[in-house]
Amino acid sequence: MNILVINGPNINMLGIREPGIYGKSTFADLLKLLRDTAEAEQIQIEQYHSNHEGDLVDKIQWAYGKVDGIVINPAAYTHTSVAILDALKAVSIPAVEVHISDVDAREPFRRISYAGMACVKTIKGHGLEGYREAVLFLKETYG
């Protein structure tokens, strides 16, 4: 199985940005968790990060016909990007939305997820472990 993990703006700042909300784990810790998960589950995981909405749309489109599932944390674009929603709908690849924090317990605007409307599942508030949960869900459900 081949899974693409997409991270949006500021995820590369983990450990620096608001550790009271996102924890002290770093982006390098997240990448290690994904590598370890791929090895343990004998699957391929490609990680992609961008702070730019169009780059994220391009990567989703690139994934068409190449991956079996997508794990996506659109970050701030969760609440604003119809373009990411439309790209996910266009490729019809099973996608799981992940949020490190519990967005439902934060500001009201964070409760709106455009990307989530095209996802088969959303995992929120489980820290970095949510990524592993998303990968395992895709493997068990679509692998």
Is 114 known to be catalytic? no
Amino acid identity at 15? G
The catalytic position among 48, 77, 99, 131 is 99
The catalytic position among 22, 48, 77, 131 is 22
Contact 124, 104 (CB under 8 A): yes
Contact 88, 4 (CB under 8 A): no
d(CA 83, CA 11): 19
Is 64 known to be catalytic? no
Query: CA dihedral defined by 108, 123, 87, 66, rounded to 10 degrees?
Result: 170
The DSSP secondary-structure symbol of 120 reads: S
Question: What length is written for the chain?
Answer: 143
Contact 128, 33 (CB under 8 A): yes
Residues serving a catalytic function are 22, 99
